[in-house]
Amino acid sequence: MSNTSRRVFLAAAGSSAAAAAALAAAPGALAAPSGQRPDDSAPDGEPLVAYIDDVTTGRVAILFGEDEVVVQDADLVRRLTRAARK
């Protein structure tokens, strides 16, 4: 049996929901990493998850469909963690 408790699961789900809401509220918040253009083929209407493993690194893994994009954005991490506390 997994060590995941209901409280841990709900906390993780709440953080993910807050991250998705923050990303939806600020569509320009994620600039493409330098040297890359935004991908126009990104799936519209599909679920999108932003995962922050360690807030001190400023890295955000963005998961959508079968793709994953990792961006370095300390300001976004700070805003998402602030939103998750509300």
- Where the chain has pLDDT below 50, the residues are 1, 34-37
- The pTM (predicted TM-score) of the whole model is 0.48
Cα angle for residues 53, 54, 60 (degrees, 5° grid): 60
For 63, the domain range is 6-31+44-84
Q: Strand ranges (DSSP E) for the chain? A: 48-51, 59-64, 67-72
Residue 37 in any domain: the answer is: no
In a domain, 1, yes or no: no
pLDDT of the residue at 26: 56
Number of domains in the chain: 1
What is the structure's pLDDT at 75?
94
Q: How much is the mean pLDDT over the chain?
A: 73
Q: Is residue 39 part of a domain?
A: no
